[in-house]
Amino acid sequence: MPSSRRTRTPVRTRPRGTVLAGLVMGTLVMSGCGPAEADNTLTWYINPDAGGQAAIAEKCSEESGGRYSIETSLLPNDAASQREQLARRLAASDTSLDIMSLDPPFIPELAEPGFLAPVPEDVAEATTENVVEGAIAGATWKDELVTVPFWANTQILWYRKSVAQAAGIDTTNPVTWEQVMEAARTQEKTLGVQGAQAESMTVWLNALIESAGGSIIVDPEATADTVELGLDTDAGIAAAEVISTIGKDGLGGPGLPTQDENASLIAFQGDTGSFMVNWPFVYPATVAAVEAGTLDQAVLDDIGWGIYPRMSEDQEAAPPLGGINLGVGAASDNPELAYEAIECIVSVENQSEYFVTNGNPPANTEAYEDPRIEESFPMAETIRDSLQVAAPRPQTPFYNEVSTGIQQRWAPPAAVDPDSTPASSSDFITSVLRGEQLL
Amino acid sequence: MTSAIPAKTTTASPAEAGPRLEAGSGNGNRTKTGRAPKQYSDRTRAERRLGWILAGPAFIIMLLVTLYPILQAIYESLFRFRLTAPDERAFIGLENYLVILSDPVWWSGLWTTVFITVVTVLVELVLGFALALVMHKALKSVRGLLRTAILVPYGIITVVSAFAWFYAFDINSGYVNSWFAWLPGIDENLNWFAQGPTALFVIMASEIWKTTPFISLLLLAGLAQVPDELSEAAKVDGATWWEQMRKVIIPNMKAAIMVAVLFRALDAFRIFDNVFIMTNGAYGTEVLSLLAYRQSISRLEIGLGSAVSVLLFLCVLLICFVAIKLFKVDLAGTQGGK
């Protein structure tokens, strides 16, 4: 057969050197070591979204008139894996980390060892004007802005109007956890909270403790040996009472011990849905489900929203804060250019556009004035109000230890005991931080 | 028994027996100078050289990609070193090991891992043996098809099969609860991943489903090596099916069984994917690989994580040692050389 001959002979006749050279060249090209990239190319490591960041990158590249061109590079799906990848690259002084989309809780860990390029003063000033308090707090480490707030996320209370009405809850006023739990109990419905052993557990606990006037970490800037936790306090015990009651009384349903944000949304859309604390993605996801025909329009019409529940009637809630900030790697070849690009990325116009197309709320309050926002996100005002009072998770270089420690001791909710869990989890995390225990 | 002793002294191992016999042809004092290279025939020497040329590059690459990281891990395990605090790196000797070995988290991880290993390997061995018997006895015309069908789970990427099993048992999207609601203890409110025993059941079931084909293929190779005459002779002597199994077939495929058990035990002991996807170590399902991952990759504690990895490596070595030295697993025997 001619074909077999064709495949066999060239290997013999081609000099070995050519094959080797080809292999080496191939490796070089694939690993991106070739001289092909121009000097003004910036790499932006983005978290997965609905294409919004890539669109902004393209738009800003065009607007720069050739001064720079932004290429996006996709990070893993969950925040923890994004952090793992970025931290390793930063520790290895990877020069390709020009712009990074960072989850705020992990920023101190990267800022402390000097992995982030300092934010120029003029950029800091221009990009924090009209930005919500919580987002600036999340972008700051040791009183210095180390990243630029891009979009800010917060959890609000979602409820089924029919259930709230039947339970006689006045949703025009702020509600308390006590009311919400009582409603679920009397109406025999389930609450949408996140009881899985995952980051969402820390988000929930932090919001409860902050709403009760406490903090998970008393002195965020302390070193690992001296850090003092605020878990075993009145606020921590009050939070434990809420979590434990929901777990022990079965108010979260049988799925609670493995329930994260997505799972609680699915339960909320079902027959037992009543009240849920969750991020704004809930709304576009529900609209999409109705459009796809997998959910009744009646469910969507039955959904209402308000500010996160309070711990006590007379104390304002401190809802969870999330979002994405933009940082520049210390080893980047083009930090000035990167900050120039960041100024473009976080422009008010881009933030509005990103909210409308991708559902991620702006950190800049001005961006909420875009008329399109009210149309696609009727709860935009609630989100903006919530962002103004939202509290960030503990800002500490040891956030991963603190969060993982909380997850291991505060999940499942039914196992939480207000008398012992706050103290024992506090001891556990402290000894992990001192290097005396594994996590 | 005594007759075996002189035989052993002349042919120390099967590997040396070959060359020595050939070198001996035409040479009277082979027992004294048998080890000298010049005694080998040209053909043997050429074969040996060819062997090295063929295996050498792979051997060197293996050294580079396995020995180097192992040595580096041992070295790093002696330091207190956090990737995000490079300036605070300090030599602390064996302190990391002390922290780990005095921590209940390590021991509970170890027992969970051992439990998963023992249960999955035992169940896989029984199921795999049954499948191997079916394949062995199957008609020639369907044997290929049967083998392919049985191998399908093994061909699936572990992460993919872990997700498939996770979603099947998940309380929100799973169908298992409604399909098996007629069984006692299973109803629509059973959250499989909310407590250790049920979560481990799903993890182990998924593991067994996926790797039984591997063990059954190894056992099939062992079955094929048992001469038919032996079982026929046993049958003529009036042995029942069970007696044939116990006295003829299983003893004759002991080598294959032990190799299968060893390979699977090593694999099962390093279980990661299924646990990572289904529970991420929550509620008493933490295994040692996950513990190492959590320290090195999540916490970026390179020193502590390396120490966990080194201990895990020592456990694996121990399994190999026990299998090879105590149970006398002959790894060369199944290559078809004997």
In this structure, are B116 and B30 located in the same domain? no
* Domain assignment present for B170: yes
Top-level class of domain A41-146+322-389: alpha beta
**CB-based contact B283 A197, cutoff 8 Å:** yes
CB contact under 8 A, B295 and A113: no
Confidence check: pLDDT of A88 > 80: yes
The model's pLDDT over B71-98, given as tens digits with 9 standing for 90+, comes to 999 999 999 999 888 888 999 999 999 9
Are A257 and B194 an interchain contact pair (Cβ–Cβ within 8 Å)?
Answer: yes
* E strands, A134-251, in order: 140-141, 144-145, 148-154, 156-160, 190-192
pLDDT band at B200 (very low <50, low <70, confident <90, very high): very high
Structure confidence at residue B330 (pLDDT): 67
Share of chain B above pLDDT 90, in %: 56
B103 at interface of A, judged by CB pairs closer than 8 A: yes
Q: What is the pLDDT of residue B142?
A: 82
Residue with the larger pLDDT of the pair A48 and B329: A48
Encode pLDDT of B40-60 as tens digits.
788 889 999 999 999 999 999
Range of the domain at B14: 1-40
Which residues have a Cβ under 8 Å from the Cβ of B54 and sit 6 or more positions away?
none
CATH classification of the domain holding B123:
1.10.3720.10
Interface check B99 vs A, CB under 8 A: yes
Tens digit of each residue's pLDDT (9 = 90 or more) over B12-38: 344 433 333 333 344 444 444 444 455
Of the candidates B282, B338, B301, B275, the residue with the CA atom closest to the CA atom of residue B116:
B275
Chain B interface includes A439 (CB < 8 A): yes
Interchain contact, B194 vs A412, CB within 8 Å: yes
- Spatial contact of A259 and A194, defined as CB atoms under 8 Å apart: yes
**Is A255's CB within 8 Å of B280's CB?**
no
CB contact under 8 A, A438 and B103: yes
Q: Which residues pair with B71 in a beta bridge?
A: none
A141 Ramachandran zone, left/alpha/beta (phi>0; psi -120 to 50): beta
Among the partner-chain residues B172, B295, B304, the one whose CB lies closest to the CB of A263 is B172
Residue B326 counted as domain residue: yes
**Looking at residue A16, what DSSP letter applies?**
H
> What H or E segment, with its residue span, contains residue A72?
strand A69-74
Q: Which of A20, A86, A248, A258 to mutate to test the interface with B (most CBs of B within 10 A)?
A: A258
Number of C-alpha atoms within 13 angstroms, CB side, residue B80?
A: 11
Q: What integer pLDDT is reported at residue A38 of this predicted model?
A: 58
Same domain, B36 and B110: no
Best residue in B80, B83, B84 for a mutation probing chain A (most A CBs within 10 Å): B84
Q: Residues B10, B113: one domain?
A: no
Chain A residue numbers touching B280 (CB-CB < 8 A): 197-198
Give the domain ranges of chain A: 41-146+322-389, 154-320+396-433
Q: pLDDT at position B38, please?
A: 57
pLDDT digits over A383-409, tens only?
999 998 999 999 898 999 999 999 999
- Hey, are the CB atoms on B300 and A254 less than 8 Å from each other? no
Average pLDDT over residues B321-331: 79
Contact B171/A437, CB-based, under 8 Å?
Answer: no
Mutate to test the interface with B, among A199, A438, A439 (most CBs of B within 10 A): A438
Task: Report the pLDDT value the prediction gives residue B85, as an integer from 0 to 100.
Answer: 85
Write b or e for each residue in A188-222: b if 16 or more Cβ atoms lie within 10 A of its Cβ, otherwise e. Answer: ebbbbbbbbbbbbbbbbbbbbbbbbebbbbeebee
Residue A12 has pLDDT above 80, yes or no: no
**pLDDT at residue A32, as a whole number:** 43
Architecture of domain A154-320+396-433 in CATH? 3-Layer(aba) Sandwich (3.40)
Task: Please check whether the two domains, A41-146+322-389 and A154-320+396-433, share a CATH topology.
Answer: yes
Residue B77, in any domain of the structure? no
d(C-alpha B89, C-alpha B96), whole Å:
13
Instruction: State whether B35 and B103 are in the same domain.
Output: no
User: In what order do the strands lie in the sheet containing A273-278?
Assistant: A190-192, A273-278, A156-160, A303-306
Using the Cβ of A250 and the Cβ atoms of chain B, whether some distance falls under 8 Å is answered with no
Interval B95-116 mean pLDDT: 95
Residues of B in contact with A438 (CB under 8 A): 99-100, 103, 105-106, 291, 295, 304, 308
* Residue B269 maps to a domain: yes
Determine phi and psi for B207, rounding to 5 degrees: -65, -45
Write down the mean pLDDT value for chain B.
84
User: With 0-12 CB in 10 A as exposed, 13-18 as middle and 19+ as buried, what is A393?
Assistant: buried
The rounded distance, in Å, linking the Cα atoms of A407 and B218 is: 42
pLDDT mean across residues, chain A = 89
Query: Could you give the number of structural domains in chain B?
Result: 2
Chain B: residue nearest A223 by CA? Answer: B85
Asked if the Cβ–Cβ distance from B170 to A258 is below 8 Å, we say yes
**B5 shares its domain with B106:** no
SS3 readout for B41-93: CHHHHHHHHHHHHHHHHHHHHHHHHHHHHHHHHHHHCCEECECCCHHHCEECC
pLDDT at B331: 65
| B46 domain-assigned | no
ipTM over 0.90: no
Task: Classify residue B190: in a domain, yes or no.
Answer: yes
Residue closest to A127 by CA, chosen among A401, A366, A294:
A366
Instruction: Say whether B234 sits in a helix, a strand or coil.
Output: helix
Supply the pLDDT for residue B170.
93
